[in-house]
Amino acid sequence: MRLHIGTDHAGFELKNHLVEHLRSEGHDVVDHGAHVYDALDDYPAFCISAAEAVIAEPGSLGIVIGGSGNGEQLAANRVPGIRAILAWSVETAKLGRQHNDANVISVGGRMHTVEESTAIIDAFLAEPFSGDERHQRRIDQMLAYEAQRDAR
């Protein structure tokens, strides 16, 4: 699967681990940075770059990493068409795909061990959207709101 990943300094080591791990699993991973460790860097540009690439490549998924994952989720969700979830367990990661058809996962690298974060992301990538009518209906309600808002 084509994957786009981005992080600030807080997720730098985890991101490098994930790039290696995910490539070893056969994924085609594009690294949107940070490419060097800088304790003063800012997460929005890395996350927005990864999220824009997800929209540009239908069928791809995004991974954004930070200390908490909160700001990274917020940044990714600024990109039209992105549904980014903040996953904090294997179950919330799976539900993000099953119920929300999320196309970006955000993880707080400071909140978990590397093994836990890796398991959360692996679970997200392996899970399909259920396609259940009630879940699609709720997604469509959000899309309808956005369309109405943008037409104002």
Ligand X SMILES: O=C(CO)[C@H](O)[C@H](O)COP(=O)(O)O
Q: How far apart are CA 26 and CA 38, in angstroms?
A: 29
Active site residue 99: yes
135 noted as active-site residue: no
CA distances from 63 to 122, 144, 148, 149 (A): 11, 26, 29, 27
Among residues 122, 113, 151, which one has the least CA distance to residue 63? 122
Least distance (Å) between residue 92 CB and ligand X? 17
For residues 70 and 141, which CB has a smaller minimum distance to ligand X in the complex?
A: 70
Q: Tell me which residues touch ligand X (CB under 6 A).
A: 8, 10, 43, 66-68, 70-72
Nearer to ligand X by Cβ, of 10 and 123: the residue is 10
The CA angle 100-106-107, to the nearest 5 degrees, is 125
Catalytic residues: 72, 99
**Annotated binding residues for D-ribulose 5-phosphate, as ranges?**
8-9, 67-71, 100, 110, 134, 138
